[in-house]
Amino acid sequence: MLESILAWSLLINISVLLFWFLMFIVAHDSLYVLHCRWFKLSVERFDFSHYISMAFYKLLILFFNLAPYLAIRIIS
């Protein structure tokens, strides 16, 4: 049961990360304009903040979804 929950959670989180990446690539300029309405950002700062946020999200996925999933798979 827990293995199934972690597998689905991993799949959903990776899908969110891929969607975020694709939206960042495809709609970069539109996202930049939208964020500049709220924050005073340079393009470099905008790109850096998204890059760091995606990297942090990926680490969270690895630590809280993939590692426990693999541990359960190894044990069972």
pLDDT of residue 58: 98
pLDDT of residue 23: 97
pLDDT tens-digit profile of 6-51? 999 999 999 999 999 999 999 999 999 999 999 999 999 999 999 9
pLDDT of residue 62: 98
In the chain, domain spans: 2-75
**Could you give the CA distance from residue 37 to residue 71 in angstroms, rounded to a whole number?**
44
Give the residue-averaged pLDDT of 51-72.
Answer: 98
75 — pLDDT class (breaks 50, 70, 90) = very high
Q: How far is CA 39 from CA 6, 16, 66, in A?
A: 36, 24, 34
**Could you give the CA distance from residue 36 to residue 46 in angstroms, rounded to a whole number?**
9
DSSP string, 8-48: HHHHHHHHHHHHHHHHHHHTHHHHHHHHHHHS---HHHHHH
